[in-house]
Amino acid sequence: MRIGELAQRTGVSHRLLRYYEEQGLLTAQRTGGGFREYAPTAPDTVHQIRALLAAGLPTRAIRDILPCAHGPAPTLEPHPDMLVLLRAELASLDSRITCLRENREILACYLSATESGSTTMQGCAP
């Protein structure tokens, strides 16, 4: 199928499909006229990419995971290298969540102190 049909079937723009190709997430053959020609399984691959992106994985991680993913849903075969990668990504997300929570609490404290007219920000520091 060509890029227009793939875009229509997946709801993903032409531009984004080309980006996935640039990132090594999606492959296409070129016709004699230079058009991209995608495999019949490309819509499943695009849906898996979208699901993994929605889970917070960066494209570099998705590139490593996709060879282990099969079928229309983002089901993954438990390959040891993939599990290590997923655990590392989960730990990274947990770390960022902790940092965001701390930043939010500090910001809320500053806002509360400002709105109450307090001249001291005592208790707002990390």
| CATH numbers and ranges of domains, the chain | 3-116 (1.10.1660.10)
Q: Best-predicted range by mean pLDDT among 5-9, 88-92, 112-116?
A: 5-9
Residues 104, 112: contact at Cβ < 8 Å?
no
- Give the integer Cα–Cα distance in Å for 110 and 85: 38
Is the model more confident about 112 or about 77?
112
How remote is the C-alpha of 94 from its chain's centroid?
15
**The tokens of 1 are what?**
């199928």
With a CB cutoff of 8 Å and minimum separation 6, the contacts of 111 are none
% of residues, the chain, pLDDT over 70: 86
Give the bridge partners for 99, in sequence order: none
